[in-house]
């Protein structure tokens, strides 16, 4: 039997608190329409002129109040996704867990969501929860009040009303912005079980905004972190990029590790964690994430494949060494097989696209080819498409490992920047060195044979 509306509301308020609406007039806040993209304003005004309520919501309002330029402008309305699509020819509907409308203006996408209501388990056509409390489907529409209760954090439950330019603050978001706090709306245990990705979002917002996580919001995270294992791998791939590839990766990684979240996304890496953070894997993590942050700050392009290649390298090499012993494989074959094994394991947790796994393998294979510099090999390597990515990774390995790896990286640095004659001289030197080593090995082999022949 379906629950009636009063029962649903009573059940909801056990989880979601009764929120107190605080309305800030235009004179009481600093958000101006000049700060909102023209595309978002077009959507807001068309919804309003068509008789619907229309609000800018979430991170856009939060960032404008913080004096930042929002990356996206999200809109919420009482119009259903199908009604939104009728208003905009440049609209498409996406999502299964929660239906959304994307209104496209060239490369800019304005996301429009219908007010969410409280789910009821018995209505399987609209909502569904797992036994652990995770929301599997959530296409239940409601009022703006219910939508505010369903928002995750207080700083994301503020609505800018295009009708009169007021801000509707339902959960004390203004106060938490002033106190620089990340606070969940409702019971943290329940909200994390509904959507475990909220634990990642809490860390991401705290690092990005330089906020603290409120004590009750932070308390259950470590214990509930294994719930991330139930999240679809495709979604965790997108979340991993938001966590580690948006300019705050190094600090985010340390916070994730503190709350046992990184270990859930990368179990094959966390096996090499130490108390003093001194393993080659941990050093490479710090180096690669710091490098990514610097590139983003400098406006340079980044490739997720490079980050994954770097942080998976030492676990892959360790596995290759075990294959050499257990399967009697040569080093090259062991690395190839270990690389496939590691990537297969990771893809089950984080669905890295095939184009990136191919690049990861290219970067790893270059590490095996860099020591082979005699004859024409060094010149040919320079022409390979992934040479620069492979060399940058070799440089990081040199910092971590020192010794011969660092010398090799320095040789390639010089070789790249040298003229034609100097490059040839460097290759000739390598040939002479290799020849001397070969003769030394032959003498050593001959001496050992002679010693065995002595009666």
Strand partners of residue 161: 55
Strand partners of residue 128: 137
The answer to whether residue 157 scores a pLDDT higher than 90 is yes
Q: Which of 35-39, 372-376, 426-430, 436-440 has the lowest mean pLDDT?
A: 436-440
Structure-model confidence comparison of residues 374 and 309, the more confident one? 309
The answer to whether residue 133 scores a pLDDT higher than 90 is no
Mean pLDDT of 110-137: 61
Structure-model confidence comparison of residues 146 and 437, the more confident one? 146
Structure-model confidence comparison of residues 10 and 255, the more confident one? 255
Q: What is the pLDDT of residue 310?
A: 96
Q: What is the pLDDT of residue 6?
A: 43
Q: Are strands 135-138 and 127-129 parallel, antiparallel or unpaired?
A: antiparallel
- What CA–CA distance (Å, rounded) separates 130 from 195? 11
Residues of the chain with CATH 3.30.460.10: 19-179
Structure-model confidence comparison of residues 409 and 441, the more confident one? 409
The answer to whether residue 122 scores a pLDDT higher than 50 is no
- Contact between 75 and 56 (Cβ < 8 Å): yes
Q: Which of 74, 169, 176, 195 is catalytic?
A: 74
Q: What is the pLDDT of residue 16?
A: 58
Residues of the chain with CATH 1.10.3090.10: 314-438
Mean pLDDT of the chain: 88
Q: What is the pLDDT of residue 374?
A: 83
Q: What is the pLDDT of residue 453?
A: 53
Q: What is the pLDDT of residue 19?
A: 79
Helix (H) or strand (E) holding 77: strand 74-77
Which residue is listed with tokens 């390597």?
381
Confidence label for 403 from pLDDT (cuts 50, 70 and 90)? very high
Q: Which of 19-23, 108-112, 153-157, 185-189 has the lowest mean pLDDT?
A: 19-23
Mean pLDDT of 265-290: 94
Q: Which distant-in-sequence residues (6+ apart) come within 8 Å of 337 by Cβ?
A: 320, 323, 327, 329
Q: Which of 11-20, 149-158, 227-236, 364-373 has the lowest mean pLDDT?
A: 11-20
CATH 3.30.460.10 fits 19-179, yes or no: yes
State the helix-helix crossing angle for 280-297 and 387-401, rounded to 10 degrees.
130
Instruction: With H, G, I as helix, E, B as strand and everything else as coil, classify residue 169.
Output: strand
Q: Which of 63, 138, 152, 293 is catalytic?
A: 152
Confidence label for 348 from pLDDT (cuts 50, 70 and 90)? very high
Is 362 catalytic? The answer is no
Mean pLDDT of 42-48: 97
Confidence label for 96 from pLDDT (cuts 50, 70 and 90)? confident
Q: What is the pLDDT of residue 452?
A: 52
Mean pLDDT of 32-37: 94
Is 286 catalytic? The answer is no
- Contact between 270 and 285 (Cβ < 8 Å): no
The dihedral over CA atoms of 148, 151, 157, 160, expressed in degrees to the nearest 10, equals -70
Confidence label for 125 from pLDDT (cuts 50, 70 and 90)? very low
pLDDT digits (tens, 9 = 90+) for 61-94: 999 999 999 989 999 999 999 999 999 999 999 8
Q: In 10 A of CB 408, how many CB atoms?
A: 19
Confidence label for 13 from pLDDT (cuts 50, 70 and 90)? very low
Confidence label for 17 from pLDDT (cuts 50, 70 and 90)? low
- Contact between 308 and 345 (Cβ < 8 Å): no
The answer to whether residue 419 scores a pLDDT higher than 60 is yes
First CA to last CA distance, the chain: 97
- What CA–CA distance (Å, rounded) separates 257 from 280? 16
Q: What is the pLDDT of residue 11?
A: 43
Is 152 catalytic? The answer is yes
Write down the pTM of the prediction. Answer: 0.84
Longest pairwise C-alpha distance within the chain: 106
Q: Which of 240-244, 281-285, 332-336, 434-438 has the lowest mean pLDDT?
A: 434-438
Q: What is the pLDDT of residue 1?
A: 32
- Residue (of 285, 287, 290) closest to 274 by Cα position: 285
Strand partners of residue 74: 57
Q: Which of 72, 333, 362, 392 is catalytic?
A: 72
Structure-model confidence comparison of residues 124 and 316, the more confident one? 316
- The CATH T-level fold of domain 314-438 is cca-adding enzyme, domain 2 (1.10.3090)
């Amino acid at each position: 039997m379906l629950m009636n509306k009063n029962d649903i509301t009573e059940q909801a308020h056990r989880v979601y608190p009764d929120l107190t609406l605080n309305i800030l007039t235009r004179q009481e806040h600093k958000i101006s329409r000049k700060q909102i993209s023209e595309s978002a304003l077009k959507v807001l005004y068309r919804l309003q002129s068509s008789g619907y309520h229309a609000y800018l919501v979430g991170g856009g309002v939060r960032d404008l109040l913080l004096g930042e330029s929002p990356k996206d402008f999200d809109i919420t309305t009482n119009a259903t996704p199908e009604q939104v699509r009728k208003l905009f020819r440049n609209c498409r509907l996406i999502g299964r867990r929660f239906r959304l409308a994307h209104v496209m203006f060239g490369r800019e996408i304005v996301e429009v969501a219908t007010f969410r209501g409280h789910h009821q388990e018995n209505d399987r056509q609209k909502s569904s929860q797992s036994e652990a409390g995770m929301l599997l489907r959530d296409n239940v529409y409601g009022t703006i009040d219910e939508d505010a209760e369903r928002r995750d954090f207080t700083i994301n439950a503020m609505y800018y009303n295009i009708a009169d330019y007021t801000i509707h603050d339902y959960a004390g978001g203004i106060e938490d912005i002033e106190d620089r706090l990340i606070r969940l709306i409702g019971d943290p245990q329940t909200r994390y079980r509904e959507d475990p990705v909220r634990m990642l979002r809490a860390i991401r917002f705290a690092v990005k905004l330089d906020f603290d996580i409120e004590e009750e919001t932070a308390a259950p995270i470590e214990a509930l972190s294994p719930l991330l294992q139930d999240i679809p791998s495709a979604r965790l791939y997108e979340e991993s990029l938001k966590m580690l590839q948006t300019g705050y990766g190094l600090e985010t990684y340390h916070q994730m590790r503190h709350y046992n979240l990184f270990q859930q996304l990368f179990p094959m890496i966390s096996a090499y964690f130490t108390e003093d953070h001194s393993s080659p894997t941990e050093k490479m993590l710090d180096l690669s994430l710091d490098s990514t942050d610097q590139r983003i700050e400098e406006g340079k392009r980044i490739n997720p494949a490079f980050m994954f290649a770097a942080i998976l390298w030492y676990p892959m090499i360790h596995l290759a060494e075990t294959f050499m012993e257990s399967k009697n494989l040569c080093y090259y074959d062991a690395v190839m097989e270990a690389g496939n094994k590691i990537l297969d394991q990771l893809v089950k947790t984080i669905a890295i696209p095939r184009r990136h796994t191919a690049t990861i393998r290219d970067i790893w294979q270059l590490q095996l080819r860099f020591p082979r510099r005699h004859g024409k090999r060094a010149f040919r390597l320079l022409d390979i498409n992934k040479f620069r990515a492979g060399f940058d990774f070799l440089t990081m390995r040199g910092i971590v490992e020192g010794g011969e790896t660092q010398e090799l990286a320095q040789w390639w640095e010089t070789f790249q920047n040298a003229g034609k004659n100097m490059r040839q001289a460097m290759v000739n030197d390598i040939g002479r060195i290799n020849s001397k080593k070969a003769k030394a090995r032959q003498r050593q082999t001959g001496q050992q044979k002679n010693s065995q022949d002595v009666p």
